[in-house]
């Protein structure tokens, strides 16, 4: 993940446009998902609430480009970003986008399920503006992760 800097965190993120709230924040979410899955991703399902902003903007404002670019391990300013569709296909990552009314608590709310042959994780996050984001929930556990520090997640087994 990118190191905090005056250019990315004060003046605005260095990124592929058009919208830092959508593309740069989505890229950070995608990079976190990639780490959560140890870079082994075969499918992603993204649920957007029609009452939020992402249903009408996920294609036009760069959300898809950022999110999937992050899944592929690309930073927000990577020159490959516009070619994310062909790269996803080459990587064998299936993508499904659903529009579901689930009363999202924020206009830029992401509800995501990501999987490979061994495991599935769920994650909820929001874009908070200026390329920043916050992960709110991982696998049903409430968290508050901004992607600016290293975080260790420890999973226990039920007795």
The pLDDT value recorded for residue 147 is 76
Which CATH number is associated with domain 14-143? 3.30.1330.90
Q: How many CB atoms lie within 10 A of CB 9?
A: 15
Tell me the torsion sign for CA atoms 23, 93, 34, 72: negative
- What pLDDT sits at residue 6? 44
User: Is pLDDT above 80 for 15?
Assistant: no
pTM exceeds cut of 0.75: yes
The pLDDT score that the predictor gives to residue 54 is 82
Give 55-100 pLDDT, tens digit per residue: 888 776 678 888 999 999 998 888 898 899 999 999 999 999 999 9
Residue-wise pLDDT tens digits, 102-153: 999 999 999 999 999 999 999 999 988 777 889 999 999 999 988 777 888 8
CA distance 126 to 146: 10
Q: Which has the higher per-residue pLDDT, 122 or 21?
A: 122
Radius of gyration of the chain (CA): 15
- pLDDT: which is higher, 98 or 18: 98
How far lies 123's CA from each of 8, 46, 83, 120, 144, in Å? 24, 10, 25, 10, 12
Domain ranges of the chain: 14-143
Query: For residues 58 and 81, what is the distance between their CA atoms, to the nearest angstrom?
Result: 14
Kindly tell me if the per-residue pLDDT of 17 is higher than 80.
no
Position 151 scores a pLDDT of: 82
Phi and psi based region of residue 157 (left: phi greater than 0; alpha: psi -120 to 50; beta: remaining): beta
Q: Would you say residue 13 has pLDDT above 80?
A: no
């Amino acid at each position: 993940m990118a190191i905090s800097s005056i250019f990315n965190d004060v003046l605005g993120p260095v990124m592929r446009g058009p919208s830092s709230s959508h593309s740069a924040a989505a890229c950070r979410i995608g990079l976190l998902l990639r780490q959560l899955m140890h870079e082994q991703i075969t499918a992603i399902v993204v649920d957007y609430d029609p009452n939020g902003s992402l249903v009408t903007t996920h294609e036009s404002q760069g959300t898809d480009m950022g999110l999937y670019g992050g899944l592929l391990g690309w930073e927000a300013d990577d020159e490959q970003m516009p070619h994310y569709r062909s790269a996803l296909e080459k990587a064998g990552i299936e993508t499904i986008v659903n529009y579901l009314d689930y009363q999202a608590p924020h206009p830029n709310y992401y509800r995501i399920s990501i999987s490979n042959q061994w495991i599935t994780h769920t994650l909820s996050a929001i874009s908070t503006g200026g390329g920043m984001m916050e992960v709110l929930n991982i696998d049903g556990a409430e968290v508050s992760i901004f992607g600016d520090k290293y975080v260790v997640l420890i999973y226990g087994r039920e007795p």
